[in-house]
Structures are given as structure tokens and as C-alpha cells.
Amino acid sequence: MLSLAVAALFLIVALLLALARSRRRLRAAERREAHYRALFERAPVMMHSVDRERRLLSVNDAWLATLGYTRAEVLGRDSSEFLTPESRRRALESVVPRFVREGSLRDVDYQMRTRSGEIIDVQLSAIWETDAEGRPLRTLSVLKDVTEARRLAQRMAHLAHHDALTGLPNRVLFQDRVQLACATAHSRGSRFAVVFMDLDHFKHVNDSLGHALGDQLLTTVSARLAGILRGGDTVCRLGGDEFVMLLPDLADAGPAGEVAERILDAVAQPCWLDGTEVRIGVSLGIALYPQDGEDPATLMKRADTAMYRAKREGRNRFHFHSLAFDHEASVRLQLEADLRRGLAEGRYRLHYQPVVEARSRQLVAVEALVRWDRDGHGLQGPASFIPVAEETGFIVPLGQWILRQACEQLRAWSLAGPAPISMAINVSPLQLVEPDFADRVAQTLQATGIEGAQLVFELTESALARDPQASRDALLRIKALGIRVAVDDFGTGHSSLAHLKRFPVDTLKIDRTFVRDLETDVDSREIVRAMLALAQSLHLQVVAEGVETEAQARLLGEMACPALQGFLFGRPVEPQAIGDRLRAQAGAAPSRPQARHGLPA
Ligand code: C2E
Ligand code: MG
Ligand code: MG
């Protein structure tokens, strides 16, 4: 009996103990569960779990905090909804099928969109949780937010390839791009240019204004450069005040020269640095692929050499390296650029050639003839640049300057005392047909205090014939200002009576080729005689050009040619010499009245 009771008690104790143990195990399991849940929910990386349809089963706090949602908003939604469209497409097309196949993923790069629309970079790793038979039930995914790290890496890469001050590409990146341009141009048979640029006297700015303002100037210049270049071009700061540009896909040297021109213009604009106006120039050198080099090092060296040449020749200009290839084109571009700069730099001069009355040989007029004091080339005659100036339209601004200068000179002579003479000015057909030509002329007359009657505009027959109607209209407006019109080089163009009658012409200038042969060639003599007769019947004035000998002057005198011009009476000279001559003439014959209009009536 006792032993039975003992056995029962023992059993109860054993049962109680077992119960207690199982309770302890349960509590331990619950604690473990709570621990893992906390681990999941509070881990400082984003985690989620999805079912086989990608529906979110659980997300942790970091996931919610990073993407800005509450748990209730996201559970049950397709996890791919939170990816950017590009990442989503990649996930559905390739990543998910691979995951199903392989059972795990490691460091897959995705971009996610936060609730506020911000894009973040993540790296996702995941495994499947399976049932007892090994069938996938749900995933456990960990997402590392690598946005900051990636930004930092990008910033490092940018710093490694860009200039810290201006943000422009640096030498390393530039060389890469030139390398690429070489390969592309080689396979396509295209051309490109490398342009070196260095600010003129930058050291002076730096020394006088300080480095901070020097830096500001560099930033301003680089912004202007960036504004000029096309989308595919690259501008890089090599360091200091040196920049280099890559201009891909050029048909020829022309556009490179144009870009250089624009850069010269843009940089020349004044900069305001801390209230101080700073003006700076640049020198540029251009090397072209393939003629100047077929690899980055050669091209950069050649562009640099060309730039030094620009510096040597006086700075604030550009130079092509090319001498062999496209020589013509580069010489021509250089000429065009130099021509324009010449105007800004005041490198043009007017010389004046006397026109005398045939009988008295008194100075009655001068013809203004332009010269160009071109850097490194000496004084250039008009034959070397007027044709280019006409082709490029530069003759229009140049002609304005010539007119203004000639009028100012005329005014200066008359203020100095001598009696007024006429001023003959050569006018290009391009100027004549500018819509506002007559207005500008009127303004110049007004500004300089010169009367129209003191001027003669010289135009060639071929110039008038180019656009007869527009020329006639323009001439009528010019004549309304009192200005007379002369046909220059008469006899060399398509001389036609119709033209002479049609245009309001006052004077014929017999071309010097007829005068040259007067003594030896009967035809020339007959032609000149006929021209004089024609002029008389049309009531036109005549000037014979190119009179070099006494014999020519005598023959012309015998034919009653009223006015003569040529080396015999004076070469084109500086204004001072004309002033002296006018004073001498006035002193020698003080009572002789000068013809009002310069040419004897
Ligand atoms: P043009 O208007 O017929 O000017 C006369 C040219 O003949 C000048 O040459 C002058 O130096 C030259 N000449 C004058 N007398 C003699 C002489 O006795 N013998 C010889 N062999 N030559 C003589 P330049 O200054 O070289 O001018 C050449 C041309 O350039 C001018 O011919 C004119 O067509 C053009 N030109 C000159 N200045 C201007 C200008 O300001 N504007 C424009 N649009 N054209 C100009
Ligand atoms: Mg002339
Ligand atoms: Mg002439």
C-alpha cells in the first residue's frame, strides 16, 4: 500500500517536473522568438520577407524608416512596386528567375524610390525559406542602403577627373576623350581639333589683385568657354591659366577657327571682380586631326606650339599648327581673324593721294587709300586684304571706319587753315547696298561737321552692275546728301553707256592702264580721247589715274583732261604730308580760290 502511494507521489513529482521543464522550454523559445523578432525589426539594415507572389509578409523598422512608409501601408503589396522602373524591369526579367533557379541572391544592385520620391541605391541579398519538402515558402531579404557610399565614390571619381576650382574635366579625363576621339575619327574618317588656350598676362592679375580674385577670373573664363562650346565638345583646365578644348566632328578647319574667334571675343568682354573691371586676352593654338597628329600626345604638343606662336606674335589671337594641310584655309582664316582684330586694335591707316588740276597742278582733292599695319607683316596695301574683307562682309565695318576717319581728317585739315579740298573715298558695293548705308553716312557727316559736297564716293562699274536697282536707289540717297559719285577704274569693267546714264554719276576716273600706254599705243590714246568726249557730252567730270610721267601729263593736257592723279603728282602719303602741301599751296598762291567741289568745273 505504502509503496503504491510512494510510486504515485513519485509519478506526480516527475510529471510536475516535466511540466515545469516544458514550461521553461516554452518560455525560452518565446524569449528566443522575441529576441529574433527584435533582431529582425530593429537591425540597422533594411530587411523584408516576401511570399512566392512577391507580396510583402514582413518588413523591418529600418526598411520603413528608409523608405518612409508605415507597416500597414506596405504589408501585402508587391515588393517590386518600390523599385524604380528600370530596376523593376531588371528584377522581373532576370533577377527573380535567377533567384528561383539558384535559391539565393547576393549583392544585387537596385534603385528604390522612397515615399517622398527620392531615389536610393541598395544592394539586395536574399535566401528562400523552404518547407519540410524543400519547397520555397518565403524569402528573407537584406537590403544595404549604399546611396551615400555610391555618392562618395562618384565624388571621388569626379575629383580624380575634374578640376576642383572650375569643375571642368582635368588632363586625365581630357586625354581619355582625345584618345576616344582619335579612335572614332580613325574609323569614321572624320576630323577634329584640339585647341590650347592660355590667358595673356594672367600672372599680372594674380599678383596685383590676389589669388582669390585670380580664381574668380578663372571661373568666369571657364563659364564663358562652356557657354561657347557645343554639346559634344570638351573643355578642360590643365592647371593655372591653361585650358584645352576638344572639338570633335569637324568638316574642315573652318569651324575651329570660328570657335577660336568666339573665344577671343567672349574672353575679351570685361570681367567685374569685386567691383574692379578686369580685361584679359587669350592666345590660342589649334591642332587638327589627322594632319597635325594622330595621337593625343602629338596633337596636344602641336596645339601648344601653335599657341606659343600666337603669343610670340603679339598675343590675343589664335594660330593653326597646320602648315602643310589646309594651308590655304588656315592662312585665310588667320587673315580673316587678324583683319577683324585690326579694327579693334586700331591697326588701319588712311593714306591720301593728291588729285591735281591739270593746268595749274594745284591740289584740288585727295583720295583716301586704306593701309593695314598688320602685326608681323608690316604695312599692307589694300590688294592684300580688301578682297577678303569683301568676301567676308568685314568691308562694311571697315568701310564705316574709313569714312569716319576720312571725314575727321578733312575736318582737321580745314581747322588747321588751308582751304577745303574734296575727299574721294572708295566705297565697296557691299557697303552701298546695306539698307542703312545712307543713314550712317548722314550721321557721320553730322558728327564730323563735314558737308556732303566735300566728298566723292568712288565705285567701280562692276560694283554698280552687281545689283543695279539697289545701287541706283542707294546712290540717289547718297546724292541727296550732296555727295558726288565717281566711276572708278573706268574702262576696265563692262563700260556701258546705259549704266552711265542710269546711275547718277558725276565723275569718271580713267583707269591707269589706258594712261600707262598713252605714249606708245595709238588705241589707248583714241580710247582716252573718246572717254573725254563722252564725259563732256554727259557733263561729267574726269580724272585720269596713274599719271607717272611728264609726257603722259602733257598728252592728257592736250586732250583737255581736267584733273590728274598719279605718282607724278604724289604717291599716297600720310595726312601730315598733305597738310604741309595744302599750307604750302595756300602760302604760294593765297589769292587763288580753291574749287569749291575740289575738281575744276
Ligand atoms: P583705286 O581706287 O583705283 O586706287 C588707286 C590705286 O592706284 C592706289 O593703289 C594707288 O596707290 C595706285 N596709284 C596711284 N597712282 C599711281 C601711279 O601713278 N602708278 C601706279 N602704278 N599706281 C598708282 P592702292 O592704294 O594699292 O589701292 C588699290 C585699290 O584698293 C584701290 O584702287 C581701291 O579699289 C582699293 N581701295 C583702296 N582703299 C580703299 C578703301 O578705303 N575702301 C575700299 N573699298 N577700297 C579701297
Ligand atoms: Mg579709287
Ligand atoms: Mg582707280
Q: Give one DSSP letter per residue of 78-145, joined into a string.
A: BGGGGB-HHHHHHIIIIIHHHHHHHSEEEEEEEEEE-TTS-EEEEEEEEEEEE-TTS-EEEEEEEEEE
Closest ligand 1 atom to Cα of 568:
18
The count of other CB atoms within 10 Å of the CB of residue 54 is: 15
- Looking at every residue in the chain, the average pLDDT score rounds to 89
Instruction: Report CA torsion sign: 101, 105, 110, 113.
Output: positive
Q: How far is the CA of 337 from the centre of ligand 2 (A)?
A: 26
* DSSP-derived 3-state class of residue 560: coil
**pLDDT range class, residue 546, cuts 50, 70, 90:** very high
Query: What pLDDT shows up at residue 594?
Result: 43
- Cis ω before 290 (30° cut-off from 0): yes
Whose C-alpha lies nearest to ligand 1, atom 3?
Answer: 489
Query: What pLDDT shows up at residue 586?
Result: 82
Q: State if pTM tops 0.75.
A: no
> pLDDT of 561-583, one tens digit each?
999 999 999 999 999 999 999 98
**pLDDT range class, residue 1, cuts 50, 70, 90:** low
Query: Counting beta carbons within 10 angstroms of the beta carbon of residue 352, is it exposed (0 to 12), middle (13 to 18) or buried (19 or more)?
Result: buried
> pLDDT of 89-132, one tens digit each?
999 999 999 998 888 999 999 999 999 999 999 999 999 988 88
Per-residue b/e over 294-321, b at no fewer than 16 CB within 10 Å? eebeebbbbbbebbebbbebeebbbbbb
Q: How far is the CA of 462 from the centre of ligand 3 (A)?
A: 12
The CATH fold of domain 43-160? Beta-Lactamase (3.30.450)
* pLDDT over 90 (residue 219): yes
> Which of 343, 379, 386 for a ligand 1 pocket mutation test, highest count of atoms within 8 Å of Cβ?
386
Amino acid at 143: L
**pLDDT range class, residue 155, cuts 50, 70, 90:** confident
CATH number for the region 353-363+391-586 comes to 3.20.20.450
CATH among 3.30.70.270, 3.40.228.10, 1.10.3720.10, 3.40.50.300 for 162-321:
3.30.70.270
Which ligand approaches the C-alpha of residue 385 most closely? 1
Binding-site residues, ligand 1, Cβ < 6 A? 353, 368-370, 381-383, 386, 395, 399, 402, 426, 428, 458, 488-489, 512, 545-548, 565-567, 572
> pLDDT of 165-175, one tens digit each?
999 999 989 99
* DSSP designation for 278: E
Task: Compute the distance between CA of residue 364 and CA of residue 518 in angstroms, rounded to an integer.
Answer: 24
Query: What pLDDT shows up at residue 591?
Result: 39
Query: Counting beta carbons within 10 angstroms of the beta carbon of residue 531, is it exposed (0 to 12), middle (13 to 18) or buried (19 or more)?
Result: buried
**pLDDT range class, residue 2, cuts 50, 70, 90:** low
Q: How far is the CA of 530 from the centre of ligand 1 (A)?
A: 24
> Which of 348, 371, 392, 426 for a ligand 1 pocket mutation test, highest count of atoms within 8 Å of Cβ?
426
Whose C-alpha lies nearest to ligand 1, atom 37?
Answer: 369
Q: At what angle do helices 437-448 and 468-480 cross, to 10 degrees?
A: 20
Q: How far is the CA of 425 from the centre of ligand 2 (A)?
A: 7
Domain boundaries, the chain: 43-160, 162-321, 353-363+391-586
Amino acid at 180: L
Q: How far is the CA of 26 from the centre of ligand 2 (A)?
A: 117
Residues 158-164 have a mean pLDDT of 87
* pLDDT over 50 (residue 489): yes
Q: How far is the CA of 490 from the centre of ligand 3 (A)?
A: 8
